[in-house]
Amino acid sequence: MTFLAAVAPANQYEADGIIGALDCDGPGVVYLFALPVLLLYGAGAAMSGRSWWRHRRAVSLAAALVCAAIFVAVLHNFAVAWAVDDRQAAECNAFKP
């Protein structure tokens, strides 16, 4: 689930090589996988960081850094999907009756 949240394309048609195509279904797959992953890894980074702050264990620091890196990667993909969805919303609404 984490891998899909980080690499799922925002526009399926552009991922298939069709440049400039509208994907009026939106990036639902990105949202579906990214939201739980952001919640879990954000909480994991916060709890591991707090554990490291209290006990200064290298394992806690490593876990916090890994969770934070995954969180940032998924957050970037989520932000890209949000921007693509926002950009295409007006054009897709023009086709609806």
Given a cut of 90, whether residue 94 has pLDDT beyond it is: no
Q: What is the Cα gyration radius of the chain?
A: 17
Q: How many domains does the chain have?
A: 1
Q: Is residue 73 part of a domain?
A: yes
pLDDT of residue 64: 96
pLDDT tens digits, one per residue of 16-74: 888 888 888 889 889 999 999 999 999 999 999 999 999 999 999 999 999 999 999 99
pTM, two decimal places: 0.86
Q: Which domain holds residue 56?
A: 2-18+28-93
Q: Is residue 23 part of a domain?
A: no
- Residues 84/10, Cβ–Cβ less than 8 Å: yes
- Residues 77/30, Cβ–Cβ less than 8 Å: yes
Distance in angstroms (rounded) separating the CA atoms of residues 4 and 81:
13
Given a cut of 90, whether residue 89 has pLDDT beyond it is: no
